[in-house]
Amino acid sequence: MTSYDLILRGGRCVLPWGEAEANIGVRAGRIAAIGALGGATAEREIDCRGLHVLPGLIDPHVHLRDPGDPAVETIPTGTRAAVLGGIATVFDMPNTTPSITTQRALEEKRAYAQGKSWCDIGFYIGAGKSNIPKLAALELEPDVCAVKVFAGSSTGDLLVEDDASLERVMRSGRRRVCYHSEDEYRLQERKPLYAAGGPHRLHAEWRDVECAFLGTRRLMALARETGRPAHILHVSTAEELAYLRDFRDVATVEVLVNHLSQTDEAYDRLGGYAVMNPPIRDERHMRAAWAAVADGTVDCIGSDHAPHSRANKEKPWPATAAGLTGVQTLVPIMLDHVNAGRLSLGRMVDLMAAGPARVYGAVTKGRLAAGFDADFTIVDLRKTRTIEESWIVSPCGWTPFAGQSCTGWPVMTLVRGHLVMREDEILGEAIGAPALFH
């Protein structure tokens, strides 16, 4: 008789080859078997009948602001938000205070996260002009998901804006480099055109389509010249998405849930709580993003969870802090899109599990398959619930999706076989570990 540490019973499993009702046996934190498992026993069983079992979903783009301001977000609070929202792994950005640009800063963050993270975590290394010679070594640290380059300025002090320095970054190693792609020269040239106190929708006019598209064209030219693969983060324009289809040999693509879910009417409704970089744009760009999801141009969907205090979000534009919360609401919003018929559940899993694992080289993540980590996001596709700010656990306490009704909701999150969330309750201890990459 075969025995396991855990068996998930009777769920409809989203497997790499399709959906099937199956039992999943877990041993030592890994998936040991998938099938009928007749006669098998386990120390623990979870009844998943009537639910869908997904591979543990990954948010590859979060800013947990740690080190930084604990009144806004920390690794403990941000990863609690992640597992409450059905996320089993996050990749955390480096534009903290101080930035994660050195071996020492990485080691300190790694040590701090142990015993404090509720989900598994990967760390970005920030590229600055001073650390380019060290990037080739830093990117090979076992828990580093990627090098992050801000080619256009955003929150924090990291910026590599000129072609010569960007080329040096691209020639500094071998793994895929992740880019915030806006053209810094155009940003600064246009900044004086806008007076303080203007309407928040001017944010999308200042950081316009050409600002993003010019940045991406420059990066693709350098990627082709150097042969270094590039991952363009939060692609927000129809022009970029059409252009990037011709660069699939060197480029992968992320879009954000916001650019799939919100249009520029959000500025009138939300004010500063709609300000992010790159901006929320008009409906033409949202339609292009959905078309790119449908035709396979998009590899990953992320939240770009980037909390700020209410005081900083409510400053007059352009002093309004740019960035929106999202790690806790990503899965409900995307499940609602599934129920609305905008994409299949299988395609959602591809974009939020297998896709990030492939793009970043995450080892044993992203698939329901024997030998992979026993990370599971278990969802009830029939459950309808309204997103409320009282549910948000990030200390900043707000979400741009407050009041939105979602059909489809995460009801359990497991990390390496540990049940860490069930029906809004955080369980056990913070057992998150550094994710591994190749």
5 is catalytic: no
d(CA 180, CA 154): 9
Rg (CA), the chain: 21
d(CA 236, CA 240): 8
DSSP 199-235: -TTHHHHHT-HHHHHHHHHHHHHHHHHH---EEE-S-
Which residue carries 């050195």 as its tokens? 102
Q: Choosing from 264, 304, 350, 380, which is the catalytic residue?
A: 304
- Is the distance from CB of 438 to CB of 145 less than 8 angstroms? no
From the list 229, 138, 221, the residue with the least C-alpha distance to 175 is: 229
Q: In degrees rounded to 5, what are phi and psi of residue 41?
A: -120, 165
**Residue positions counted in the chain:** 438
Is residue 186 helix, strand or coil?
helix
Q: CB-based contacts of 412: which residues, under 8 Å, 6+ apart?
A: 46, 51, 376, 377, 378, 419, 421, 422, 423
d(CA 17, CA 280): 35
Active site residues: 304
